[in-house]
Amino acid sequence: MKKSFVILTCLIALFFTFTDLAAKKKENKISTVPQMLNYPSAKIDDYRLHGGNVVLRCNLMDDIIQILPLDEIRDTLNMMSDALKKRDADKIIDRMKKEHPEYIDLIDYIKENDNLDPKNFIKDFIKEKYADSLQIVMKAVMNKIGAKTIVNNYMVNETDINAIEFDHDLSIHKTIHIPYPMFVYIHPLTQTYMCPGDTIDLHFNFKEKYKMNAVSTTGTGLSGEVNKYVKQLEMNYCPPFYISPNTDSKDSLLIWKDKQVKELDELIIKLNEGLPEFEEVSPLAKDILKTHLISTKAEHIFYHYSIMDNEVSRDTIFWQKYFDFVSDREDYLLNNPLMMIASKEGFFNSIYFSCFDQLHKFQNYQTLPTDFKSDIYRNTELNPEQDKNSYYDEKTKGINYICNKLNLKRNNDFMTQATIARDLFFMIKHNQPEMAPEYFASIMPFFTNKHVARQALLSYNQFIKENVVADNTDNKPMTKGDSIFQRIIEPYKGNVLYIDFWEIGCGPCRGGMLAMRDEVKNNADKPVKYLYITDSKEEDCRSFLEPNNIKGEHIFITRNEWSHLQEKFNFNGIPFVVHVDDKGKIQHNTSVDILLQNIGK
């Protein structure tokens, strides 16, 4: 009996030992997170993280020729050449016109021009016969769509708009400055990768049924190589994620998130094993494409947190659970400068408003004025409420808090610095532009990554030029945007102008106009005009403007004109407001009341 008891005890002990080992083995298996291998393949400076110019080209004539029945036209040319050598050429020509009425103009053109260059005659024929008609059509199209390039510097959350128009010969040749290699949106046509020093060619496929495939780009250098593969790779490994997760509780959101993280890990494994599409891709382009796929897949996870209800996002415990996956994947998600040149704007935006969302809690800072003012210093010393941190100390505290809560190994990596840079420029532009020097000087020690520091310094320099340096616009050449703006404000010369750029589909725009009704009414007898400029159709706006009694000057422009005004004022988000004084000068960081007080001064 005693022996049996000993044996039974040993068996039970062995059972629990093996069970424990199996559980640990399983736990280790589950906790193993795949990391990127042999990545990146070069030194970070080899990827050209600097800025420069890119040339955007398009020859619409070449694209139009591609849809013509060239073989039939060539046959017609050969037949005409033979016919013209014979005595009865006129009879043959008449017969051909009856048999091919669609080519009558072409036949006459061949007859009237003896010395035709077989390589260029079709293009010459189209230019001579149809160029004016094509220009009218393209002008109408461009007015309707308002084509432009949108260059988003996600590092400092800045946007540069460049309006696009076809030249007289139906071509485009536009030089675009980009702050570093990036994806640029050619609105409303396509996204394309641009790298400084390269040339991008825009192509229209008029035979394509689907609009999303009707526009494509090719290019030189790294730009051409990335654009050749990126769309197909996105479709193969990161299909569109615009459909929101079907979740109705925090628990279901976490389950959905875990599923997405699992798919991200599966993508990493595939990238390590090597994608078949990468067989002929250079190492640099391959790294950019890999990083782009990672950011596109990860953006899905970050994005759906950033659009959650505020009540959910304010729950710190839920925030920690949702982002518990980041620490094990920090090396390629956060501490990865390649994200700067391989991801799109949405990746940076989503991380800023999700993973680093808690940073907005740390706003208890004060920076003293640049110039010594004894009354301000005295009040600061006497007022206990002014006992605040510097901007640097407060933001450092916020980053440390996030890193501790999310178990991040680094508290000063690439993405945290980019987040601070975005926070800095949003604050000085929208809240206290006059305090920009002090805030910038305070936070500069935080930027230890040279690429983030470079972008911050260049952007600050541009900010100073636009907001502090004396206005030298009179010495600048007049642009099309300038001409459009002057035409709009000319009838209101001598008045203070409040100019609101808006669209009917913009909720904040409509809300702002409703909030302005009392001011517009109270200032009706004063020398101030309220201009509401939109590229929305007038008939679409009436149902909002008339019932809500929105007074003011309502100005409806084309989308092409809108694009040129976006380029002039460099805005992408709306509502966007511009103030003009009674002398016709644009004034920054002011109000209607201030401008009215200074009329005639």
- Residue pair 343/45 in contact (Cβ under 8 Å)? The answer is no
In a 3-state reduction of DSSP, which class is residue 234? helix
368-421, pLDDT tens digit by residue? 554 444 444 444 444 444 456 788 888 889 999 999 999 998 666 899 999 999
What is the structure's pLDDT at 442? 87
What is the structure's pLDDT at 381? 45
Beta bridge partners of 161: 150
**How many CB atoms are located within 10 Å of the residue 81 CB?**
13
DSSP 571: -
Question: Look-up: residue for tokens 């004025």?
Answer: 369
Instruction: Name the pairing type of β-strands 52-59 and 199-204.
Output: parallel
Rounded-to-integer distance, Cα 481 and Cα 568, Å: 5
What is the structure's pLDDT at 64? 74
Rounded-to-integer distance, Cα 99 and Cα 82, Å: 17
521-556, pLDDT tens digit by residue? 999 999 999 999 999 999 999 999 999 999 999 999
The pTM of this model reads 0.79
Rounded-to-integer distance, Cα 340 and Cα 343, Å: 6
Which CATH architecture best describes the domain 473-597? Answer: 3-Layer(aba) Sandwich (3.40)
Where are the alpha helices (H) located in 493-548, listed in sequence order? Answer: 507-515, 517-522, 538-545
DSSP 329: G
What is the structure's pLDDT at 385? 47
Element spanning 391, H or E: helix 391-406
DSSP 389: B
Of 363, 353, 358, 377, whose CA–CA distance to 299 is shortest?
353
Question: Strand order of the sheet with strand 190-194?
Answer: 158-163, 148-153, 182-187, 190-194
Question: Look-up: residue for tokens 């450092």?
Answer: 396
Rounded-to-integer distance, Cα 510 and Cα 504, Å: 7
Rounded-to-integer distance, Cα 433 and Cα 590, Å: 11
Largest CA distance in the chain: 127
Residues of the chain with pLDDT below 70 are 1-31, 67-90, 92-93, 96, 100, 102-104, 106-107, 109-123, 129, 210-212, 240-244, 246-248, 309-313, 367-388, 410-412, 431-432, 468-476
- Residue pair 55/173 in contact (Cβ under 8 Å)? The answer is yes
Tell me phi and psi for residue 478, to 5 degrees. Answer: -70, 130
What is the structure's pLDDT at 285? 95
| Ranges in the chain annotated CATH 3.40.30.10 | 473-597
What is the structure's pLDDT at 378? 44
What is the structure's pLDDT at 302? 92
Return the ∠ at Cα 227 (arms to 264 and 263), rounded to 5°.
10
